[in-house]
Amino acid sequence: MKRARVLHEGLPHYAFERDGQLVLDDARVVPFDAVEWLPPFEPTRKPRTILALGLNYADHARELAFKAPEEPLVFLKGENALTGHRQLTRRPAGVEFMHYECELVVIIGKPARKVKRDDAYGHVAGYTVANDYAIRDYLENWYRPNLRVKNRDATTPIGPWFVDAADIADPMNLALQTTVNGKVTQSGNTRDMVFDIPFLIEYFSSFMTLRPGDLILTGTPDGVVDCRPGDLVVTQIEGLGALHNTIA
C-alpha cells in the first residue's frame, strides 16, 4: 500500500491514490494540487535519527574523483531539513553549485539492535524517495559533509509516498531517475550500491539502536548537475513514485 501525509483545508490527513485520484482518510476525493504535501510519515515526539550515506554508489564516487569507500561514509541529518512533495527548496544567494541527489530511503519499522543481515529486512517498514540536495560551495571535506551542505531547512524533499516493504519485492533492484525541467540528467539502479540495505542495517545496529521511524538515506548514483532558481527537479524510483521539487 502507498500512503501519503497531506494538509487539506489546514488539517492533516493520510491520503491514498486510487484510480488516479487522491483519496483522504475521511473518504473525500480531492485534486492532487489541492493539498499541501508533507513528509509521508507521522512526525515523532522524540528525535528521529536520520542516517545519510555518502559515496554509496561507485560511479558517483568516480564522478567526484574518489575511490569507493571501504566502510560506510555516514552523516546525520536533522528533521528540519525534510520537506514534502511539490514544495520549494531555496538556493542560497551567491552559491556556484547546488545539485540534487535521488536516493532510496529505508524506513525502520521495529527496533533493531545487533541485527544480522539475514534478518535485516524484517526491521524495515517501508520505503520512500528523497532528494538530498547538496551545496558544494560549503563543503569543507568530501568525506565529512558539514551542516551548511546537508542540514539547511527544507533542503531534503521526501515522499510523496510511504510504500509498505511488502509491496517492494526487491529494493536492491530498483531503477532511479532524475529529470530537470523534463530532461533526464541522472539514471541508475539500487543494485549498484556499494553497501546494500541488509549490510547497512547490520552495520548500524552493531553499535546503535535503530528505532521505528528512523530513516536511512542510501546515497545517489552519478549524474548530478547544478540546479538554478525556477528549475523543476523530479526524482523518481521504480515502484515508489516521483518526487517533485522546485528551486526558489
Cβ-contact 243, 160 below 8 angstroms: yes
C-alpha cell at 87: 514544495
C-alpha cell at 111: 527496533
Cβ-based burial of 52 (10 A; exposed 0-12, middle 13-18, buried ≥19): buried
**9/13 Cα distance (integer angstroms):** 10
Beta-bridge partners for 104: 129
Beta-bridge partners for 4: 15
What is the reported pLDDT for 141?
A: 63
Alpha carbon separation from 87 to 38, 43, 243 (Å, rounded)? 9, 18, 10
Cβ-contact 149, 138 below 8 angstroms: yes
Question: Is 0.95 surpassed by the pTM of this model?
Answer: no
Q: Which domains does the chain have, with CATH numbers?
A: 1-38 (2.30.30.370), 44-247 (3.90.850.10)
The residue ranges of the chain whose pLDDT is under 50 are none
